[in-house]
Amino acid sequence: MITYLYWGAVIALVIVAMSIFAGRLNNLRAALISSGLVLLIGWVAYYFYFEQVFVKRFGGVMAIAVPEGQHHIAATWKEDNLWVENYDPVANTCIFSEYSRGNLLQGKVTIKNCNPLMPKMPAAEAGARMTQ
């Protein structure tokens, strides 16, 4: 919901810029340039700052795809950056990937020989381990 309010405010600013420059000042070129700048600044601010802030603090919406061949394990927030843990069964590694604002400073931590998706033990083997 907060994302819709943000984009509604950006569009309202575009309309205000258009009405001031095109309507009152009769300058269509200035109206197009100013409205384009408002849209550009609004998009840059959203992509590089507000997207993850909205999701974390105000219940916004964000979509991330799990890379092909990996299994999702967990996700957590560290300040305003999202860390996602996936498991790659082919390489037997756990991969922690950071999704920072604007995806500029993405961290990545790889843990080798990590097997969090171990197959379940048969009941007889599990019972034998408990009695020891």
What does the pLDDT look like over 22-81, one tens digit per residue? 877 788 888 889 999 999 999 999 888 888 888 888 877 778 888 899 999 999 888 878
Would you say residue 113 has pLDDT above 50?
yes
Whether the Cβ atoms of residue 84 and residue 97 lie closer than 8 Å to each other: yes
Residue 52, burial from CB neighbour count under 10 angstroms (0-12, 13-18, 19+): buried
pLDDT above 90 coverage of the chain, percent? 20
How many CB atoms lie under 10 A from the CB of residue 57? Answer: 11
Note the pTM of the prediction, 2 decimals. Answer: 0.61
Q: For residue 39, what are its two tokens?
A: 């849209």
pLDDT at 86 over 50: yes
Quickly state the pLDDT bin for 104 (edges 50, 70, 90).
low
97: which 2 tokens?
A: 């990937």
Average pLDDT over residues 103-130: 66
User: Looking at the DSSP assignment, which residues form a beta bridge with residue 88?
Assistant: 93
Instruction: Give the DSSP letter of residue 25.
Output: S
Cα separation, 39 vs 31, whole angstroms: 12
**Amino acid of residue 84:** V
Contacts from 18-24 at CB under 8 Å and sequence distance 24+? none
How confident is the model over 52-65, as pLDDT tens digits?
Answer: 888 888 877 778 88
